[in-house]
Amino acid sequence: MRACLIVLLFVVSATGCEPVYTTWDARESFPVFVKAGAASPAAPAPLALKVMTWNVKYGAGRIDFWFDLWGDRTEMTLPEVEGNMAGIYALINDVQPDVLLTNEIEIDSKRSAYYDMVKGILDHTALQWAAYTPTWQSRFVPSEGVGRMNMGNCIFSRYPIVASERIAQADRTDQDPVTSAFYLHRAVGRAELEVGGRHVAVYTVHTEAYDQDRTNARQQAQILELVRAETLPFLLGGDLNALPPGTVKVADFNDEAPAALGTAFAQPPYHTDDLLPFYGELREAIDLARYGTTEAEQQRFYTHSVIGEGTIGANGEPGFWNRHLDYLFVRPPDAWRPGSTDVLQRRFDSGIQEEPIGLSDHCPVIGTWDVAAVAP
């Protein structure tokens, strides 16, 4: 079967103008998208930016897709995507971030009805600039009818983005060549913002979820090296698919489908020490003291659940946020404004009117980034 697939891919890729799957250089500049009529607002002094990170699950809301093993959907209708995205726009507008980091955002995928979510967010929110960097781009993914795919990370800003770059991350080594070619190629998106005459850097990351070879840890190490070399004040955020140090609940999650065990989509073990260097060198929006030391304390900061409240999970409980995977970091002397950071798990958290549990399998993390007057 694999040999036949290789023949098919060779025939198509050798002859078509558009490659069947896409590869990238180690570092590549990418275009910045600007809303028509965009104008840079006045920046506060001292400089502070309200920021938000959110894995938006390609606008699928709580539709159970095949790889989560709770359902078998492979694509959505356009009205479904439009409906889900309307909720995402509403929540973004509730928060009114200056900078928004998104993971799993799609611009041209069959499964999301070719809906351009980058353009959608620019059109429906106060955000004006967008730096999109793809991590999964194939003309046709020959698996479960996935078809055309263009998914990635995006940095949105109310302030001008003057540069956008895609920095390739290490690929998994535990896949055969064909699977690897059509699989995600994780990347760091780096954007440079001009805010009130200053330049700041923003990094968006989304590291591996299903690796059995510690690719996730290698990608984290690479991210750490990148930000250590950064000369500008920076924000680092996204879905790291890793638990904070000291997390009490690390296995037997309610949202793990029993059918996933033994498949390519089984949850690999978490290593709670992986993120210690991040917490040691940077400041997280939810620091470890606030995160707590008991499951009861920590669950207030969980950001992810594969299933929503309408699904009874493996432990017989309805779905709800059950682990913390999404992060916002800044580097001292930059800091988080006291009282500004939150995990938006529920309606009315930090004043939002939307119910996040129905909008994605992740909920947003927010905070106000106080940018120090002098760069380190």
- Rule CB under 8 A: say whether 7 interacts with another protein: yes
Burial track 64-77 (b if 16+ CB lie within 10 A, e otherwise): bbbbbbbeeeebbe
What single-letter amino acid sits at 349?
D
Site string for another protein, 20-49 (x = CB under 8 A): -----------x-x----------------
Only one residue has tokens 């999404």, namely: 326
Kindly tell me which residue out of 99, 107, 188, 344 binds another protein, with binding defined by CB under 8 A: 107
Site string for another protein, 48-87 (x = CB under 8 A): ------------------x---xxx-xx------------
Beta carbon nearer to another protein, 29 or 96:
29
Nearest to 64 by CA among 260, 308, 303: 308
Helices (H), 56-103: 78-95
CA distances, 331 to each of 202, 227, 244, 364, 367 (Å): 12, 9, 17, 20, 14
Binding residues among 122-181 for another protein as defined by CB under 8 A: 134, 139-140, 142-145, 147-148, 150
Nearest to 264 by CA among 345, 184, 165, 370: 184
* Interface size with another protein, residues (CB under 8 A): 36
What single-letter amino acid sits at 237?
G
Beta carbon nearer to another protein, 1 or 374:
1
Burial track 264-280 (b if 16+ CB lie within 10 A, e otherwise): ebebbebeeebbeebbe
Strands 99-106, 48-55: pairing kind: parallel
Report the nearest approach of another protein to the CB of residue 106 (Å). Answer: 11
Report the nearest approach of another protein to the CB of residue 150 (Å). Answer: 8
- Rule CB under 8 A: say whether 231 interacts with another protein: no
Contact by Cβ (8 Å): 104, 58:
yes
- Rule CB under 8 A: say whether 183 interacts with another protein: no
Give the H/E segment covering residue 131.
strand 129-141
Beta carbon nearer to another protein, 44 or 142:
142
Beta carbon nearer to another protein, 55 or 150:
150
Beta carbon nearer to another protein, 108 or 349:
108
Report the nearest approach of another protein to the CB of residue 166 (Å). Answer: 12
Beta carbon nearer to another protein, 139 or 300:
139
Beta carbon nearer to another protein, 16 or 83:
16
Give the H/E segment covering residue 290.
helix 288-291
Residues in contact with another protein by CB under 8 A are 1, 4-5, 7-8, 11-12, 15-18, 31, 33, 66, 70-72, 74-75, 107-108, 110, 114, 116, 118-119, 134, 139-140, 142-145, 147-148, 150
